[in-house]
Amino acid sequence: MSSNIVYTNAQDWQSEVLGSHLPVIVDFYSEECSPCAALAPIFEKLAEKYSNQMKFVKILRQQNRELALSLNVKSSPTVLFFNQGQEVGDRFNGYIRKPDLRQALENVLNITPDDVTLEKVKADVLILGGGPAGLSAAIYAARARLKTIIVDEGVPGGQAATTWEIANYPGTAGTISGKELMDNMLTQAKSFGTQVDDLKEVSRVELKGDLKVITTEDTEYAAPVLIIATGSESRRLPVDGEADFRGMGIHYCATCDGANYQDAKVIVVGGGNSAVEEAVFLTKFASHVTIVHQFDNFQASKTAQEQALHNPKIDVVWDSEPRAILGDKELTGIRVENIKTGEFKDIAANGVFVYIGMQTRTNLFEGQIKTNQWGYVEVDEELKTNIPGVYAAGDIRSKQIRQVVTAASDGAIAGINAERYFMLQEN
């Protein structure tokens, strides 16, 4: 638990919140709550920075229901602001983005952009992204005694950290959880001196010039070498209303949100490895899983297919694509169309997990760096981009195979070549 956060209850509400001489931010959270777990590191990060100006309080909603209901708090997490005993500012609930929460906090404190002075930080090597590629690059660069800083918009680990288990990473005992593997990489990178600045809000990246610059909400980083390892993100379900139900019925990570669907019916959209493997994982919680796939066969590995097709909790709707989300305030299912017959079918479900491919995260580099027609960064065999001193590693770059082990190997190559480039500039 962070020393910057006060954990309280209904009995101490008056003294801790309403009687506080500082403005207060309150997080009503629950146990076994995926959005609550996602908010926790954000809340801690903000507390580290603003605890001398604002009091950070957390209350377990499950044990303080009467207080929560008296404040019309009916879901977890719900974040409220108080000043001089009165609620002020905006409320937040569900999956909460750090930029939105930070902006609301600064509004309560009357902090404007003009009040923020960017801290200037210099490094030998900057790495944008803390997934397996970024962490591996950091291990090699930092071990070469270069001042290495990872700047990550999320928490270290990337997509790999949300994978329930990884069975094909060399050197592990058969299987290992994605989080454990990424934690091991993070610990190793830090052991060589890597500085990891996570949950940063990157607003601008300048690649041209002798120094590459990353600008965030409070820091300007500069280094002669930059390794881009921002990875990719899940492609969104192309159906109206997806954004309204995201995190509240529509999900992209079974490991993160599957436990919310104990004894419920869920749908998995997709037919590749991620879709089929996560469908099997979801049977640990859900009473039934329906896989909706646009083709008449899976593209997943034979092992994954066998596990899914022989699982009595799983059935498959072939040759079909989602066309509509059913439900008003709560998702009740989806409508699918058979793309061969044109027939529509409604499938009842409490949640939908989507695995229809990935999309690049290259918007920060548009107009500066060469990408292919799908938006992936083009590099040579040394992972150099078209800009001297800039390398790209992992899922962000153009390549055929995207696995944790290939991302890690990319990171090693980029880290070694980044060191060589740096030494040439120094000499």
Query: Which are the catalytic amino acids?
Result: 253, 256-257
d(CA 52, CA 334): 47
One-letter amino acid at 207 equals L
SS (H, E, C) 83-138: ECCEEEEEEEECCCCHHHHHHHHHHHCCCCHHHCCCEEEECCEEEECCCHHHHHHH
Contact by Cβ (8 Å): 80, 87: yes
d(CA 255, CA 190): 26
d(CA 64, CA 58): 11
Q: Which two tokens stand for residue 23?
A: 């403005």
Burial (Cβ within 10 Å: 0-12, 13-18, ≥19) of residue 35: buried
Residues with Cβ within 8 Å of 358's Cβ and at least 6 positions away in sequence, in order, are 232, 233, 234, 235, 395, 402
Cross-strand partners of 150: 127, 196
3-state secondary structure of 176: strand
One-letter amino acid at 194 equals T
Q: How far is CA 407 from CA 8, 124, 160, 377, 396, in A?
A: 43, 22, 10, 14, 9
